[in-house]
Amino acid sequence: MTNRIWGFIKSVLLIELLIGLSVTLRNQFRPHTTVEYPRETPNLKPRFRGIPRLRKNPETGEDLCVGCLLCEKACPDDCIKVVPEKRPDGKGKQAAKFIINYERCCFCGLCVDPCPTKPLTAIYMSHDFELASESRTKFYYPMNNLYEGAQIKEYSR
């Protein structure tokens, strides 16, 4: 009998409504956690995985990619295409073509792990994240664009 009485009191006094309104009022005056994108840029954490990019040797400026095809084999989406060739000096291989299809990429970072170049890997996950485009051809990045990264888009206000 007491449950019926308590249920009647709750429905008459609208206790659930007051509890919901108290939650709303409590959160109304807290600082906002949203970012006004694209006017403001988000603060990315150091471990953020953006789009994969290639890296050159900082000392010599040569390509670090040795054309081993391990990143191509590790990619679960099959979005990386590497065509190796012999180096001009005859020692080892290098990548003649390195193409990433960002339309298929899931940004998992599995292509970075098997890269054999030490201490820096030839491929790394950058902090670039803006990939929106009207054309599908803009998602295919050839080797020279992979070093420069994605172009920063300017938005009008």
* Predicted confidence (pLDDT) per residue in 112-123, tens digit: 999 999 889 999
Q: Which residues of 140-153 are buried (b: 16+ CB within 10 A; e: fewer)?
A: ebebebbeeebeee
Number of domains into which the chain is organized: 1
Round to whole Å and give the CA distance between 138 and 103.
9
Question: Is 78 part of a structural domain of the chain?
Answer: yes
Classify residue 98: in a domain, yes or no: yes
Query: CB-side exposure of 10: number of CA atoms within 13 Å?
Result: 9
The reported pTM is 0.73
Per the domain annotation, does 4 fall within a domain?
A: no
Position 81 in a domain? yes
Domain carrying residue 109: 52-148
Q: Is 76 within the bounds of a domain?
A: yes
Q: Looking at the domain assignment, is residue 25 inside a domain? A: no
pLDDT (tens, 9 = 90+) of the chain, 157 residues, equals 677 887 777 777 788 888 889 998 988 888 878 888 888 888 889 999 989 999 999 998 888 999 999 999 999 999 999 999 998 888 889 999 999 999 999 999 999 999 999 889 999 999 888 888 888 888 888 888 888 876 666 666 5
